[in-house]
């Protein structure tokens, strides 16, 4: 079982990456969010799940172990295959999934392509008690809101952007971001990098 991989992105598609590990290129299905924030040549580390079928081996990759855990729980639900599970994780965050299950609310799952009303209800029923909302929301409380933009700005400066460019980009993204993203260093950094563009570094004095 391939539980994780680390390598260099050789190709980036809309919902898949080719990651070169030890000279071997591995095709990995990912959410569009991961694909949008990854560029060719970037170092990639993903938590993975290998789906083995008679006619194919399919690898699915996730940024966090929480996403991987939810993925494995979803494909354990009657009627939910790997592609549908990826659709859920592409449309909803882990905290949103946990909250919907806790609230016995199948509406968010009905809006996911490939998930019908019956399957949406089964997700809520079969995952009940398996997803803890406080644990799922914990990453958003890593730092006080006021400290998150500062930490993200400092991280961008460390990556090579000037303080002015970094601060302006963070402020722009934070203004339009969801509350959960504004409260998470990882989420706000990912969104800001998507705005700035891949590998676009400036001299610190620029």
> Could you read off the pLDDT of 16-55 as tens digits, one per residue?
999 999 899 999 999 998 998 899 999 999 999 999 888 8
* pLDDT, tens digit (0-9, with 9 covering 90-100), for 45-59: 999 999 988 888 899
Q: What pLDDT sits at residue 133?
A: 59
pLDDT at 178: 81
Place of tokens 């949008």: 36
**CA-atom Rg of the chain in angstroms:** 18
Ramachandran quadrant class, 161 (left: phi over 0; alpha: psi -120 to 50; beta: rest): beta
Higher-confidence residue: 67 or 196?
Answer: 67
Q: Quote the tokens at residue 203.
A: 């001299």
Output the pLDDT for position 144.
Answer: 46
Give the DSSP letter string of 40-58: TT-EEEEEEEEEEETTEEE
Mention every residue, 6+ apart, whose C-beta is less than 8 A from residue 9: 17, 18, 19, 20, 38, 39, 40, 41, 42, 43, 44
**Prediction pTM value:** 0.64
Task: Please tell me the predicted confidence (pLDDT) of residue 12.
Answer: 94
Give 113-171 pLDDT, tens digit per residue.
889 999 999 999 999 888 765 433 444 433 445 577 888 888 777 777 888 888 888 88
Percent of the chain with pLDDT over 90: 49
Q: Cα separation of 36 and 104, whole Å? A: 31
Comparing CA positions, the residue from 36, 44, 37, 53 lying closest to residue 18 is 44
Beta-sheet pairing, 4-12 with 43-53: antiparallel
In whole angstroms, what is the distance from residue 139 CA to residue 13 CA? 28
What pLDDT score does 54 carry? 81
Q: Confirm if 131 and 70 have CB atoms less than 8 A apart.
A: yes
Residue 192 has a pLDDT of: 86
Query: Look-up: residue for tokens 């990882």?
Result: 186
């Amino acid at each position: 079982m391939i539980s994780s991989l680390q390598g260099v992105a050789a190709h980036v598609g809309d919902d898949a990456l080719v990651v070169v590990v030890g000279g071997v290129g591995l095709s990995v299905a990912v959410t569009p969010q991961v694909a949008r924030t990854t560029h060719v040549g970037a170092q990639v580390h993903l938590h993975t799940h290998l789906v083995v079928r008679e006619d194919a081996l399919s690898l699915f990759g996730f940024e966090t172990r929480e996403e991987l855990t939810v993925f494995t729980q979803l494909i354990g639900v009657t009627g939910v295959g790997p592609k549908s599970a990826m659709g859920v994780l592409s449309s909803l965050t882990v905290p949103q999934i946990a909250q919907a299950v806790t609230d016995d609310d199948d509406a968010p799952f009905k809006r996911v392509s490939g998930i019908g009303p019956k399957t949406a209800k089964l997700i809520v029923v079969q995952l009940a008690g398996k997803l803890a909302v406080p644990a799922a929301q914990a990453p958003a409380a890593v730092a006080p809101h006021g400290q998150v933009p500062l930490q993200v700005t400092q991280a961008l400066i460390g990556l090579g952007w000037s303080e002015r460019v970094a601060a302006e980009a963070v402020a722009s993204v934070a203004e339009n971001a969801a509350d959960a993203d504004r409260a998470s260093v990882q989420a706000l950094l990912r969104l800001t990098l998507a705005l700035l563009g891949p590998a676009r570094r400036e001299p610190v004095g620029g």
